[in-house]
Amino acid sequence: MSIITASSPVRRWGHLWPLALFMLLAAAGLYALWFYWPQILLSSAVWQRSINQELSGLLRQVADNPARAGLSLLSFSFVYGVLHALGPGHGKIVISTWLATHPSKIKSSLGLTFAASLLQGLVAIALVVVVLGVLALPSRQLHLSSFWLEKGSYLLVGFLGLLLSWRALRRLQVQLRRKPKFTSFTPHHVHDANCGCGHQHVPDEKQLTAGSDWRARLMIVLSMGMRPCSGAIMVLLFSKVIGVFSWGVLSALAMAAGTSITISGLALLVHSFRALAVRLSGNRAPVLWRQVGWSTLALAGGIALVVAALIMWLSAQPMARGIRPF
């Protein structure tokens, strides 16, 4: 009696419903973000102004009494980083797209988010030190330098999208290439209870993280961290003016720590949803169909990054007086 059964194409497509649901939810989220974007920007600008005023007041208190107000400044800066990262931004787009379309371990995913958040804080500190301290340029040059770093980060997002799209296209080309027709079946060996056939039945870690090389990861970290946080720039600038720059540096690092918490939470959420989609799909759908489905999703993610980079590049404006929604 034959134990090999062939499922119909309609049934095979039905096995891919978790992937279809994942893509549908992602599209719905993008549409909601597009629809409410003007309202989000307006509310964020008002919130950002109030937060900046509160940070300025805490810095003045630190200048008068560091021992008493220092802890309050650092705590507020940490909370600011957590809340600031909740708003829409290109860093969250990058990390979400990468984790949703590429297999990755939780440890490496969290490493990317922590490295990018730390780099964002260090870039802000280095920018203020170089522009205001070393070169002794006016604050206007500081804002312009931050603006061009922001534009550079958008370029990296576009390059990353092109890289991911190219890799996805190459995988699709291999997966969809015509296979040789099956003509006969001849057993080459027999498996027993202890399989020693020399075949690899489960992919190893290197195969699981295929495509996650250091180039792509470096571009992810740089594209997320190259753009300095507007709140950190404001705190560093004001702290230098009133003579408490060391506290400004600590405040910027506290913001970076808060940002890393939120971005890491988002990374865990996306990672969990992807793992759930893979588990629900299981082995019910043919291997080739699953591979083509995920490669297609990776291609869509790469294209989305290119489009997002183009939109952000064209809409980027120099920040004025340290005020910027995100």
User: Is residue 114 assigned to a domain?
Assistant: yes
User: Is residue 324 assigned to a domain?
Assistant: no
Side-chain-side CA neighbours of 198 within 13 Å: the count stands at: 3
Q: Give CA–CA dist 87/146, Å, rounded.
A: 19
For residues 52 and 16, the model is more confident at: 52
How do residues 137-181 score in pLDDT, each as one tens digit?
Answer: 787 888 788 888 888 888 998 898 898 889 888 887 776 675 545
User: Is residue 203 assigned to a domain?
Assistant: no
Percent of the chain with pLDDT over 70: 74
Tokens describing residue 269: 């959420």
Residues with Cβ within 8 Å of residue 278, at least 6 apart in sequence: 18
User: Is residue 109 assigned to a domain?
Assistant: yes
Are 58 and 234 in contact, with CB atoms under 8 Å apart? no
User: Is residue 187 assigned to a domain?
Assistant: no
pLDDT at 291 over 60: yes
User: Is residue 185 assigned to a domain?
Assistant: no
What total of structural domains would you count in the chain?
Answer: 1
CA 291 to chain centre: 23
How do residues 197-210 score in pLDDT, each as one tens digit?
Answer: 544 444 444 444 44
User: Is residue 67 assigned to a domain?
Assistant: yes
Q: Which residue range(s) make up the domain with 241?
A: 9-176+209-315
User: Is residue 186 assigned to a domain?
Assistant: no
pLDDT value at position 201? 43
- H/E run at residue 201: none
Residues with Cβ within 8 Å of residue 92, at least 6 apart in sequence: 85, 263, 266
